[in-house]
Amino acid sequence: MGKGNSDLFKEILKRVSRTFYLSLNVLPKDLRRPVGLAYLFARAADTIADTRLVSLETRLEYLELFRAEFRGNGPHRIREVKEAMTGPQKIPEERELVARLEECFAIYRTLDPADRERIRDLILTITQGMLMDLTTFPGEEEGYPIALKTRDDLDRYTYFVAGCVGEFWTEIHMAHRPSLRGWDMAEMKKRGVRFGKGLQMTNILRDLSRDLRIGRCYLPQEDLEGLGLTPADLLDPQAIARVKPLVQDLLQVTLAHYREGWDYTLAIPRREIRMRLACAWPLLIGLKTLALVAQSKNLLDPAATVKISRPEVYRILLRSLALVGSNRSLTGYYQALSERIALR
């Protein structure tokens, strides 16, 4: 891998994702390139979808051009997307990522055809979730939040933006790691979907107040109505007491997803230490985050931050490194973190 490509995978990826970079960096070497590239494409798409300094119509247009590049049936206008989106993008690392989109696609075209197909299917599915965001919610300029209608809508959304990652992760690891040949792919993909959904639910609950202020309420309208609430009511931080039962219920939904994700992790052969760690880390870090969500009395306050500290992340990494070879010890750690949430 040339120096430029190395910078792309290490420096930019490290800056755009603290947590995922940890998992990527610990993966077996033969998987870092396709998995890292898939993540960079997903982040680039997210940057296109969320750049608020251009109109909603423009974001939709350029997101479709981005998708067409993967389908291979478009006018190949990725340079136009790059030039249009780097100007208004104020976050340096995201601006650089979009500026290097052509380089990302050049690397993509050098991959094994099967890996290219896996990445293409993943990105087309993830961007379907981004299109759902852009067409469901009114946008930050409208001044009021809209909610997803039902739990089924929420489940479909979490599949689009994260559950499909579990499918991709399973397929690409089974293709590259001979030790996984005994896996039942269909069963493991189902678990992988739940794994991804759980991590996305964590993000939704953690970012509730911020999303409300850009017009997005992922708490289903049918559940809010059952509590006598509207999405707009949640703009008042004092509404936390009234919405708490729904938050607690969704925490239990999230933990159920996590249990499937944990079974996925334990199914990884013990000699695949790197893959085990790459799966265990986001779940353990996520459990710590969910504990903060569960105990927060200011979850609807945009001034409050729900985020575990960097030293706490490092403690999780070190402890899991010591336990990774033992299912019993690793599960004991996982259960201890889970129980802290259940007791809230």
pLDDT over threshold 60, residue 337: yes
Q: What percentage of residues in the chain have a pLDDT greater than 90? A: 71
> What integer best gives the mean pLDDT of the chain?
90
Contact between 341 and 251 (Cβ < 8 Å): yes
Please indicate whether residue 177 or residue 98 has the higher confidence score (pLDDT). 177
Q: Which amino acid is at 325?
A: G
C-alpha 200/C-alpha 214 separation (Å) is: 18
Name beta bridge partners: 146. Answer: 216
> Mean pLDDT across the stretch 52-67?
87
Please indicate whether residue 313 or residue 2 has the higher confidence score (pLDDT). 313
pLDDT of residue 341: 85
CATH topology of domain 137-344: Farnesyl Diphosphate Synthase (1.10.600)
The pLDDT-based confidence of 83 (bands split at 50, 70, 90) is confident
User: DSSP alpha helices (H): ranges in 52-163?
Assistant: 56-71, 78-86, 92-99, 101-108, 113-136, 151-158
Query: Looking only at Cα atoms, what is the longest distance across the chain?
Result: 58
Sign of dihedral through CA atoms 197, 55, 91, 137? Answer: negative
pLDDT for 264-313, tens place per residue?
999 999 999 999 999 999 999 999 999 999 999 999 999 998 999 989 99
DSSP 231: G
Closest CA to 171 of 132, 125, 117, 126: 117
Q: What is the DSSP string of 304-317?
A: ------HHHHHHHH
Q: Residue 144's CB: how many other CB atoms inside 10 A?
A: 12
**Residues spanned by CATH 1.10.600.10 within the chain?**
137-344
pLDDT of residue 9: 64
Distances in whole angstroms, Cα of residue 207 to Cα of each of 231, 248, 271, 298: 15, 15, 36, 12
> Mean pLDDT across the stretch 94-113?
88
The pLDDT-based confidence of 53 (bands split at 50, 70, 90) is confident
Q: What percentage of residues in the chain have a pLDDT greater than 70? A: 91
pLDDT over threshold 80, residue 22: no
pLDDT of residue 75: 60
Name beta bridge partners: 147. Answer: 217
The pLDDT-based confidence of 179 (bands split at 50, 70, 90) is very high
The pLDDT-based confidence of 2 (bands split at 50, 70, 90) is very low
Contact between 35 and 115 (Cβ < 8 Å): no
pLDDT of residue 230: 97
pLDDT for 155-174, tens place per residue?
999 999 999 999 999 999 99
pLDDT over threshold 60, residue 24: yes
Tokens of 196: 């991804």
pLDDT for 189-199, tens place per residue?
999 999 999 99
pLDDT over threshold 70, residue 1: no
Tokens of 111: 């991959």
- Lowest mean pLDDT of 57-61, 79-83, 144-148, 253-257, name the range: 79-83
pLDDT over threshold 60, residue 132: yes
pLDDT over threshold 60, residue 3: no
Closest CA to 138 of 216, 29, 201: 216
pLDDT for 212-246, tens place per residue?
999 999 999 999 999 999 999 999 999 999 999 99
Q: Which amino acid is at 9?
A: F
pLDDT over threshold 80, residue 139: no
> Mean pLDDT across the stretch 2-23?
65
